[in-house]
Structure 1
Amino acid sequence: MTRSFTLVQLRYFCAVAEQENMTAAAAALNVTQSTLSSAVAQLEQVMGTPLFTRLPRRGLRLTRAGRRLRESALLLLEDADQLPGAVREEGPVLAGDLTVGVFGPLAPFRASVILEEFEREHPGVTLSFLEGDQEFLRRALRDGKCELALMYDLGLGGELPRRVLRRVPPHVIVSPEHPLAAVPGQPVSLRELAAEPLILLDLPHSREYYLSLFKLLGVAPRIRHRASGYETVRAFVARGHGYSVLNQRLPHDLTYAGSPVVPLPVAEELPPIEVLLVRPGGTRPTLKSKAFEEICLRVYGVTPVVSID
């Protein structure tokens, strides 16, 4: 027996999956909650399995079947949106929503530039960024909350398809009053700095990476402060509370408070961090996410040889 469903039901289902809340999804779609609930219930009946787990006071969560349906529904809805243009033999005009994860410390460096480029080339797509740490983004990819993510190669494992956009070596920052600041650009030994107070960027997986650099050199750092904010780390260093090791570097060396830090290259050869574009495993990318990938490659100056799909 043929089981029928409508594109409207799929759109409603995808909206609920994104919001994880029936009331919020109804408001976003400008429909009544009863209309939305009925559409989802009918879709569950057609599919023959629950698509959401109802969590008291915590909203809705996709079941495994729901995640699979969402992956297929996004592609089907996109193909449906392209159908009129295909009939008229026109090129694809992208429309709809695209959610992209971005690692917090990376967001200030590239997100606004990528957003500007993307909106100029694809004005019909609403691009939203989901910002968080590495573990948050890994879960967001798994749960279908974002179609791809701009993140580091830390704590990912080997199951997620990824594209390397840039390799960023570690560098040291010190205050202008630090003796090493007297010779800007002079490489400094991380091994020799280990006895001084360290301001550690304390994010999941990031802290393990930074501590591993000292371990490779056979020394243990003297951690004075831990901070989860990139700018907090820089501010502590600028005020003379210690030095730090970071990877991304701003085009200027001022902190939010106006005090400068002095960046210095590391004398030892240490592993860089890779900036990646990551997708969920086992999914076919949408046209919108492919367009985002192309712009990322251009912004980062990467030659598009092999796609990550």
Structure 2
Amino acid sequence: MKIEIRPIEKEKWHGKKEADNFMRDKTISVLVDRETKLYATGLNYTDTDYEDQETGEKVTEASYYAKLLKQNLSNVYIPGTPHEFWEAGTMRIKLPNSTMFLETNNPFDHLKYKVIKCSKFVANSLREYQDNLYPDATHYIVDGEEEMELKAKKAEVKFEVYQKYNELTKTEKIQLILILGEKNLKDKSDSMITLEMEKLMESKPREILEFLKKPKKEIVLEALLKEAIQKNVLKYHKTKYFYGDAEIASNYEELTRFFEDESNQELKVVIMNKVQ
């Protein structure tokens, strides 16, 4: 059976994703289970579900592969004594920042697959990662049926986004791009705005739908604050926000509340004039 393992697309500190993401490869190895004090190999040591190829005797998975590979696959951990197989280089498994495949008909790939399934860095599926069952995961095992279902749902979301896109004014598109894409396209051509919108619709369809649920007044204010920060009209330093030398907020939520306050509307107008 062919097993496909993919890296999880995450936006890193450098802001790059997918092919542009230069996240390093990850290497995992067989660890000792804290509770059982045994090597977490993923192999079954109790159920006799395999048949010895020579004798026909029913044996455990661990015994079957130990004989097949002529290796010691015991999961017994002896402190201070490295395991001759599990701690050897063979079972140091590199998870590349690209799709990898294992063929479980290959005995060594079968063992690697079992070890990978024990790792907190590899989710059993993308859905289980999204459900936060594997918060530390960097990779996931592809589930064919689940992949089809997720693609169908993503297509539905994109279709809804495209429908709502046609209802947006040019100003609303610019605000959306500024907030979700961190790009200020004010005074730019319609074609450039369309190009950036298409990129966002492809990469952040769900975020766009959530964005469009916000009250327009809230979107207008958020766009104003983003632009004011970009143009250094409002200064940001160590989570705090300043207008001139005066601190006006200790975090972004407080900054939003500050400018929602009726008593601060005069300063809001001043800032609006400065970013125009």
Q: Which TM bucket (shorter chain)?
A: under 0.3
Question: Max radius of gyration: which structure?
Answer: 2
Q: Please give the TM-score of this superposition, normalised by the length of structure 1.
A: 0.25
Q: Please give the TM-score of this superposition, normalised by the length of structure 2.
A: 0.27
